[in-house]
Amino acid sequence: MRKIRESPPARRRALAAALLLALPALLRTGAAAAQAAAQAAAQARYTSPDWGFSVDLPPDYHFNDTGAKNRFLWTAPADRVFIITLYEGASSPSAEALAERTKQRLSAAGDTSVFTYGRGEAAIFEARFSETKGQRALPMAGWGFCAALKATDDAAAPGPWLLALAYGPASLGDSQVLHLSCLDSLSPDEASRRSPGPVTAFSYPRGERVKAPVPGTDEEAWIYAEDAEASQAVVEREYEVMARYAESPAWQEAWRRFYRMIYRDSFERVSDIAFALERAFNPSSIPADDDGRPGAERAFAEKALAWVQGFQYERDPEGSDFVNLVSCALEQRGDCDSRALLWAITLIQANIPAAIMVSREYSHAMGLADMAGTGARFEAGSVRWLVAETTAPVALGLIGEKVSASRHWLGVIFE
């Protein structure tokens, strides 16, 4: 495998194509099982207080205490494994060297590619090896990722090295989408939590930075040439992951993770579009409310809401039914959840706490904002959020009576 700067588009797309696989759905169980699934899923979302990395794994990955401060292990059904190991000091001269040393230790075959992730060198590699299970050797297959945990501009003094491995039985070839999704959920440090994951960064190098007009305004915004294509690939992959849990007691957690993964991938891609909207809507001249919260916040939220409400309504029930946020913003099209998530990111970029809520029963999604003022509210994460309908020209805080039962809504909080 060539290094990423030399890899032809076909080779990169071959990796991206691996993101579009699926397995049969799991069985439905009752409310008690759903609660247990939610508790178990909490183990799959982890931020290390000591090392600073974070992961957001599918909901059936369970944390296993290894007793070692530098080793973190998750296991899932069908012998799937996700493991992170940290190496302090100058234990490896480069990410590529760590990848090759890891393959040698596992007696693994597979190609390695080196690319830039964040501010440092990273490596992604295939791993095909055997693992002893009882009296027999079980063929395993998966992917690995290596990077300096705290990348610096000083190549001679990188931070501790992080190694992540996601693998399972080679006979379950369609588990590859889970392994790649696990690796792509990894954020080596806090700075990377609002930027594309390592698998996507490898598969879709950002390319040329270009300016694009922001429809409905007189502003322009910077984007990268491949942002829309890359973001849609993440959408489709994560939809395939989410679909595995459609009949599982963990379906709600799978839905939440689907939107969190898109949020993480999209935030940096649309951040300059959000800045352009702030410039266009210019709420700074509006005085503060009586409670001291800036009235400009609500004014900006309302203008941003009116902007997404004017988009063309577009659905694709046969696919993921989600338009990536770059296309959503620049082509003014999308369904309710694309618009709601774009609106939420726009507010968060403006330092206004925001989230979304989604409903399987109503086949609908709405935006949420934590701000003062009148209107219908939905409670999630101990916050009573103001609701925002993004597909009809109604004011902030209004919700249709036919979709107003709070028990049918699922809150998705990103940060």
- Percent of the chain topping pLDDT 70: 83
Which segment of 32-36, 55-59, 62-66 scores lowest on mean pLDDT?
32-36
Tokens representing 238? 């994560």
Rg over alpha carbons for the chain, rounded to the nearest Å, is 22
**Across residues 62-83, what is the average pLDDT?**
95
Q: What is the pLDDT of residue 28?
A: 30
> What average pLDDT does range 7-13 have in this prediction?
42
Reading the block at residue 60, the tokens are 């059936």
What pLDDT sits at residue 12? 41
Decide if 119 contacts 192 (C-beta within 8 A). Answer: no
pLDDT at 327 over 70: yes
Q: What is the pLDDT of residues 95-133, one digit of tens each?
A: 999 999 999 999 999 999 999 998 889 999 999 999 987
The predicted model gives 299-327 an average pLDDT of 90
At 14, the pLDDT band (50, 70, 90 cuts) reads very low
The arithmetic mean of pLDDT across residues 22-41, rounded, is 44
Closest to 146 in 3D by CA, of 122, 176, 170, 111: 122
How many Å separate Cα 193 from the centre of its chain? 9
Is beta strand 354-359 parallel, antiparallel or unpaired with respect to 333-334? unpaired
Residue 148 has pLDDT above 50, yes or no: yes
Is the pLDDT score of 153 beyond 80? no
Q: Is the pLDDT of residue 39 over 90?
A: no
Residue 296 has pLDDT above 90, yes or no: no
Residues 80 and 270: their CA atoms lie apart, in Å, by 34
Q: What is the pLDDT of residue 8?
A: 41
- Picking from 209, 197, 205, the residue whose alpha carbon sits closest to that of residue 55 is 197
Tokens encoding 52: 């600073």
3-state secondary structure the chain: CCCCCCCCHHHHHHHHHHHHCCCCCCCCCCHHHHHHHHHHHHHHEEECCCCCCEEECCCCCEEECCCCCCEEEEEECCCEEEEEEEECCCCCCCHHHHHHHHHHHHCCECCEEEEEECCEEEEEEEEEEEEEECCEEEEEEEEEEEEECCCCCCCCCCCCEEEEEEEEECCCHHHHHHHHHHHHCCECCHHHHHCCCHHHHHHCCCCCEEEEECCCCCCEEEEECCHHHHHHHHHHHHHHHHHCCCCCCCHHHHHHHHHHHHHHHHHHHHHHHHHHHHHHHCCCCCCECCCCCEHHHHHHHHHHHHHHHCCEECCCCCCCCCCCHHHHHHHCEECHHHHHHHHHHHHHHCCCCEEEEEECCCCEEEEEECCCCCCCEEEECCEEEEEECCCCCCCCCCCCHHHCCHHHCEEECCC
In this prediction, residue 37 has a pLDDT band, given cuts at 50, 70 and 90, of: low
**Both structure tokens of 397:** 């805080």
Which pLDDT value is given to residue 133? 79
User: Burial, 338: exposed, middle or buried (Cβ in 10 Å; 0-12, 13-18, 19+)?
Assistant: buried
Query: What residue has token string 């369904």?
Result: 335
Tell me if 114 sits within 8 A of 121, measured CB to CB: yes
The band of 295, judged by pLDDT with boundaries at 50, 70 and 90, is confident
The residue among 163 and 35 whose pLDDT is bigger is: 163
Say what the pLDDT of residue 40 is: 60
pTM: predicted TM-score of the whole model, two decimal places:
0.88
- Report the pLDDT averaged over residues 245-263: 97
Residues 265, 200 contacting (CB under 8 angstroms): yes
pLDDT at residue 19 in the model: 30
Quote the crossing angle between the two packed helices 251-281 and 336-349, to the nearest 10°: 60
Judge whether residue 274 has pLDDT over 50. Answer: yes
With tokens 């599982």, the residue in question is 248
Q: To which residue do tokens 């390319």 refer?
A: 207
CA-wise closest residue to 127 among 162, 83, 61:
83
HSE (CB half, 13 Å, CA atoms) of 80?
A: 23
Residue 90 has phi, psi (to 5 degrees) of: -85, 60
Query: What's the mean per-residue pLDDT of the chain?
Result: 87
pLDDT of amino acid 230: 97
Render pLDDT for 169-212 as a digit per residue (tens, 0 to 9). Answer: 999 988 999 999 999 999 999 989 999 999 999 999 998 999 99
Ordered structural domains, the chain, with CATH: 9-205 (3.40.1000.10), 232-412 (3.10.620)
Q: What percent of the chain has pLDDT over 90?
A: 74
Residue 7 pLDDT level (bands cut at 50, 70, 90): very low
pLDDT at position 174 is 87
